[in-house]
Amino acid sequence: MPSIILKDLTKRFDDTVAADNLNLEINNGEYLCILGPTGAGKTTCMRMICGLTRPDGGQVLFDNVDVTNLETEERGAAMLSQVYSLFPQMTVHENVLFGPSIKGWDEEENKQLAKSMLTMVHLYSRADAYPHQLSGGMQQRVALVRALASGSGVLLLDEPLRALDARLRIELRKELRSLVKEMKLTAIHVTHDQDEAMEMADRIAIIRNGKIVQIGEPKEVYENPNSPFTANFMGMSNMLCGTITEINDGVATIISNGHKFLAKDTGRPVGSEAVVAVKIGNTKISKIEEGYFTGKIERMLYEGVSIVVEMQVPELGLIVAKLPNRKFDDFDEGDEVQIRWSPDRTSVFDIPEGGLEEELKVE
Same domain, 68 and 130: yes
Among 190, 210, 228, residue at a domain's last position: 228
At 158 the pLDDT is 87
Rounded Cα distance, 99 and 151, in Å: 10
At 341 the pLDDT is 98
For 313, the domain range is 284-340
Using DSSP, state whether 225 is helix, strand or coil.
coil
At 63 the pLDDT is 92
CB-CB contact of 4 with 60 (8 Å): yes
Using DSSP, state whether 339 is helix, strand or coil.
strand
Same domain, 138 and 83: yes
Same domain, 185 and 143: yes
At 82 the pLDDT is 65
Same domain, 208 and 159: yes
At 306 the pLDDT is 95
DSSP states along 114-164 = HHHHHHHTT-GGGTT--GGGS-HHHHHHHHHHHHHTT--SEEEEESTTTTS
At 232 the pLDDT is 92
Rounded Cα distance, 243 and 132, in Å: 61
Same domain, 119 and 203: yes
Same domain, 52 and 125: yes
| Number of domains the chain contains | 3
Read off the CATH number of the domain in which 58 is found: 3.40.50.300
Residue pLDDT, tens place only, 176-235: 888 788 878 899 999 888 899 999 999 999 999 999 999 999 999 999 999 999 999 998
Same domain, 194 and 270: no
At 180 the pLDDT is 85
Read off the CATH number of the domain in which 360 is found: 2.40.50.100
Pairing of strands 186-191, 154-158: parallel
At 125 the pLDDT is 92
List phi, psi (to 5°) of 303.
-120, 25
Same domain, 81 and 207: yes
CB-CB contact of 285 with 298 (8 Å): no
Instruction: List the beta bridge partners of residue 33.
Output: 189, 204
At 108 the pLDDT is 81
Pick the closest to residue 122 from 186, 167, 187, 179 (CA basis). Answer: 179
Read off the CATH number of the domain in which 300 is found: 2.40.50.140
Same domain, 219 and 336: no
At 279 the pLDDT is 97
At 244 the pLDDT is 97
Same domain, 90 and 203: yes
Same domain, 250 and 214: no
Rounded Cα distance, 190 and 112, in Å: 31
Kindly give the parts of the chain with pLDDT less than 50.
none
Same domain, 169 and 267: no
∠ CA 22-25-30, nearest 5°, is 135
Relative orientation angle of helices 136-148 and 166-182, to the nearest 10 degrees: 20
